[in-house]
Structure 1
């Protein structure tokens, strides 16, 4: 794996800096677009990495995978009364489908759907407890208690989050949100502002590659059927209106974030995290997607037709 990652690193070298950083979030606008890191967590819990894989970055929408994991365990199938499971075919912050579909988000990985999931994570509790539960999951699964929220990024998102406020208020009018809008959004902005490295992220998500269990410790993180459902939603919806292209080119469940990270799951093998801040037009890391495509070509991993 170290040799494979080194080959991937060499392959993307001519493309470093491609794409456009998410400058609509001021705290992300100054991130160096030439940064690149990649990590793979294997069935024994070991993590292999190359490039800037130890550097922390804002995981943004990748956090939605972990909040969905928590909520599926907390409320079960009831979450699907609030959120659908279909691809959106629209931008991650689109309000059009909400208006057409009575305020019910198309899936839990677009912004509106993730806000509804965060509302369910808060439940009858408070926002701090919800973020505490998310951090506890990430710290336990990565084995690193230092993982935290980047409060500067959270404040930057809160100050520029007018579109997310529109989505939340629209859902509130249809009864999708149970808690107050600003309470939910306060948690949502902090959730997206969690900072992690590729090493930490790959290790934290390892349970998704092994039917909900951490393969190193044997601990059940989520029920096996929930792990499979999360992977299926990631495959169909993890990259917004770029999800079909990602499935076509890479063939693994994945979730991108506008901080430039991508999490990908290779069932039965392990998990991959890649970071390169420049984004394509759909908000997925441009160089990160190239790196994963190269890695899949080298390993033969795909949920569609894995090579022996």
Structure 2
């Protein structure tokens, strides 16, 4: 695996310059674009990585995966009363469907859906920030994980479209808390920083029938039941890459969640997880090098969504 990752890294770095860093969030526009890291964590506790796999980056929309799981754990299937589970076919920050669909977002991974999930968690937790960080620190076995205050402030200052969606959903009765409070929580969760090794570890429960791994690499607590882990993976496969989800399913074929910070996490059930980071994005907001690296990894390993 180490040799495979080294080969992929060499090939991916030849693509530098084919994308652009996210510029609509000023703090992300400052990130050095020519960085690439990838890490693979296996269900037996082993990890391989190359490149900038230990450099922290902003999770952005990858955080939506973790908040959705927390909401699923908190209220179960009641979550589906407020958000759908279909691909949107529209940009992650699109407002178009909300009016025709009466304020019910298509899925939890577009911005409108993630805002509803954060609204649910804001009602459930007195201090959502620390509930989310606590879960991530445990999953990643990284007690010092935190959010980047500069990124959170920068994102909050440019959240006009998200605020508009929140107020529209509130007008439809699908938003229970003050939009300002929810947006504060939302921007902090998007600004959580991890590196590739930590992110691969944090998502291991999705490759391991809902079970997390401890430091020893042995099965630890059941973080999510096996059926729900399977369902989360299904949603990641169909909705995890913005309006490029179909293309990612065709080219890569693994459940993924992307973020405009340049990160992508992918799940190979029964085998392990892959986290890749490269800040240059394509027109859909997905990492250019990251998507290429995952496609090459699947070609070279033959991993599938139903691997065992």
TM-score of the pair, normalised by structure 1: 0.96
Distance 1:282 1:229 in 2: 25
| Structure 1 gap ranges (5+) | none
Contact 2:152/2:190 (8 A) holds in 1 = yes
Which of 242, 249, 256 in structure 2 is aligned with 1:240?
Answer: 242
Q: CA deviation at 1:226?
A: 1.2
Contact 2:63/2:190 (8 A) holds in 1 = yes
Deviation digits for residues 211-269 of structure 1 (CA, Å, limit 9, x no counterpart): 11125333101111111111111111001110000010000000000000001001110
**Matching residue of 1:176:** 174
Q: CA deviation at 1:17?
A: 3.6
Deviation digits for residues 122-179 of structure 1 (CA, Å, limit 9, x no counterpart): 11543xx111111111111111111101010000001011011011111111111111
Q: CA deviation at 1:295?
A: 0.5
1:149-164 map, 5 Å? 149-164=147-162
Q: Where in structure 1 do 4 or more consecutive aligned residues deviate above 4 Å?
A: none
1:94-109 map, 5 Å? 94-109=94-109
SS of the residue 1:123 aligns to: helix
Q: CA deviation at 1:32?
A: 1.0
Distance 1:252 1:291 in 2: 13
Contact 1:18/1:33 (8 A) holds in 2 = no
2:229 is the alignment partner of 1:227: yes
Deviation digits for residues 52-97 of structure 1 (CA, Å, limit 9, x no counterpart): 0000000100001111111101000000000000000000000000
**Matching residue of 2:18:** 18
Deviates more, 1:208-217 or 1:189-198: 208-217
| Structure 2 gap ranges (5+) | none
**Matching residue of 1:135:** 133
1:188-199 map, 5 Å? 188-199=186-197
Contact 2:105/2:113 (8 A) holds in 1 = yes
**How many pairs were matched up?**
304
**Matching residue of 1:118:** 118
Distance 2:99 2:87 in 1: 16
TM-score of the pair, normalised by structure 2: 0.96
Deviates more, 1:105-114 or 1:138-147: 138-147
Contact 1:17/1:35 (8 A) holds in 2 = no
**Matching residue of 1:218:** 220
SS of the residue 1:117 aligns to: helix
Distance 2:45 2:73 in 1: 23
Q: CA deviation at 1:20?
A: 1.1
SS of the residue 1:190 aligns to: helix
1:28-67 map, 5 Å? 28-67=28-67
Distance 1:45 1:18 in 2: 35
**Matching residue of 1:257:** 259
**Matching residue of 1:283:** 285
Which of 146, 165, 168 in structure 2 is aligned with 1:167?
Answer: 165
Q: CA deviation at 1:294?
A: 0.5
Contact 1:39/1:274 (8 A) holds in 2 = yes
